[in-house]
Structure 1
C-alpha cells in the first residue's frame, strides 16, 4: 500500500559509533520524529526513525496490526544497530515511548539510555474501559493527531483512531507497567504541561516505578502532545543530544 507523502521512514548513517533509534506514536508517522532525527544526524550519530507497521498508509491497515507487530519491527531495528555500534540510545513519542521502554526492559545494558516525550504508559478516557468490546463492533473513533500548539504543523497521522490497534496498546500497557522496575538505564523525560492525549499521570507512573537512578524530567510549557513538532522542539533536540553524548561517553575507547 502506498505510503502517504511525508510519512516515510528516516535513516542516516553517521560517522560516530553511537546510534539513536526514535519511534513515533499510535496513528502517527515518522514525520513527527524526522526533525529530531535530523538534528541528531547533524551531530554525527547514526539515526533510525522506522515507520511502524500499519502506519503512514490508512487507518484501516493499522487496524490489522498490533503491539507485537510494532514491537518486533523496532526490536529488529534495535538489534541491527546494536550489532554495528558501540552504544544505542532509544527514544519515542507517546506510544513510541512505550515501545522504547519495552526495549529497555527486554535488552538491559544493551540500551545505553532512554529519551521519552509524553510517553503513553497509561491513558485516561471515559470510554477506554469499553474499548476491548467496542473494537469488535466499531472500527474507529475520531482521530487524536495534530495536538500541536504551534500553528501550521501536522504529524501526518490518521484522522481516525483504529480501535483494534488501540485495544492492543491497552493490553500491552499492563505488562509494560508491571515490568518498569526492569528499567535501570539513564532516563530523560520531556512532558508537556498541557497534553490533550496522554495524561501527566502517565509520566508520573513511569518515574515512580523505574529503577533508574539517573533520571531527568523536563516540563515543556509551550507545547502540546506532539512536542517534537511544537514550540519546545529545540529544547527536546538539544537536550537529547547532550543526554546521548553524556550517557555514551563512558564507554568510549
Structure 2
C-alpha cells in the first residue's frame, strides 16, 4: 500500500549515491523530511517509505509484527540497491534498529547511520512503573494497553516542541501513544538484532543524545562495542533528547551525516558531488 507520506528525492541526473531512510515507531516519513532534504541538497538521492502499520489508520499498528517491518525494508532495499554504485541506510529509533538488522543480512551496504538507536526502553522519561511492563508485554494484555507519549515528546527545544505538538494534532495518522503490542515487536526485533551485531562490517555512524528521554546512550554504546566494522564512529550529543534531527543540535547531526557519507565514498565523491 502506497502512503501519501512516502517520498523519493531523486536528482534529474541521478546521483550514483543513494540512501534509504527509515522513520521511528508510530511516526511517518514526514519526521525524516528535513533531514532528507538536507542530504538531497548535498548530492544524495534519498528515499523514505511508511513502514507497515504506519501512515494510514492508527489501528493498523496493532496488527503489525517485526517481521513485517523487516520484510518490507528488505524489499525496498533490493528494489533500490542496484541503481547506485553506493547505497546507504539510515534510521531514527526503530528505523535505526531496522538499518542494523538489514546490515546483518546484506553485505553490500555502503554504510549506515543510526540515530537514537532504540535497543532498550531505558530513557529518563520512562515511568517508574516501567518494571510492570512485562505484565503487559508478555501476556494477552499487550493487545489492549498503550504506553502514553508524554512530555517532553523527545524534544528539548521548547519552541520546536510546541510546533511539533501542533503539527501532530493536525495529523490523524500519527499516534500520541505507543501501543504495547508495537513495543513488544520493537523489543523482539531489538533482541534479535543485538544477537548478531558482530556480523556487521559496513561503516557505521551512531548519533545519540546523552539525555535521550526514551532510550539511553547504552544502546548506541553497545552497538559501537559489538559491531565488527573497522570504520565506526559514535557521536554523543549533549543538548538534545530523542528526536535528534529536530532538536537543538540538528545542524550538527545533519553535517556529521553528510561527512560520514562522503567519507565512505571519498575517492569518487569528489567527482560525483
Is the TM-score greater than 0.5?
yes
Instruction: Report SS of the residue matched to 1:218.
Output: strand
Measure the CA separation in 1 of the matches of 2:77 and 2:267. 21
Q: What does residue 89 of structure 1 align with?
A: 88
Q: Partners in 2 of 1:87 and 1:147 — Cα distance?
A: 32
Pick one of 11, 14, 36 that aligns with 2:8.
11
SS at match of 1:84: coil
Unaligned runs of 5+ in 1: none
Task: Out of 59-68 and 174-183, give the one that drifted further.
Answer: 59-68
> What is the number of equivalent residue pairs in this alignment?
249
SS at match of 1:231: coil
Map 1:60-209 onto structure 2 (within 5 A).
Answer: 60-108=59-107, 110-124=108-122, 125-130=130-135, 131-133=137-139, 135-136=141-142, 138-143=144-149, 146-150=153-157, 151=159, 152-154=162-164, 156=168, 157-209=174-226
TM-score normalised by length of structure 2: 0.84
Match of 2:240 among 223, 226, 230: 223
CA RMSD in angstroms comes to 2.2
What per-residue deviation string (whole Å, max 9, x for no partner) do you get for residues 50-91 of structure 1? 111111334321111121111122222211221211111111
Distance 1:118 1:246, change over 3 A: same
* Structure of larger gyration radius: 2
Does the 8 A contact of 1:121 with 1:206 survive in 2? no
Ranges in structure 2 where 5+ consecutive residues have no aligned partner: 123-129, 169-173
Which residue is equivalent to 2:25? 26
Structure 1, 94-103 or 42-51: larger mean CA deviation: 42-51
Task: Indicate conservation of the 8 Å contact 1:59/1:161, yes or no.
Answer: no
**Could you give the per-residue CA deviations for residues 149-172 of structure 1, whole angstroms, max 9, x where no partner exists?**
122342844112111122111112
Q: CA deviation at 1:195?
A: 1.0
Aligned to 2:126: none
Give TM-score, length-normalised by structure 1: 0.90
Cα offset, 1:249, TM superposition: 3.0
- Kept in 2, the 8 Å contact 1:62–1:165? The answer is yes
Question: CA offset at residue 250 of structure 1?
Answer: 4.2
The answer to whether the Cα contact below 8 Å between 2:89 and 2:112 also exists between their aligned partners in 1 is yes
Question: What SS does the aligned partner of 2:82 have?
Answer: helix
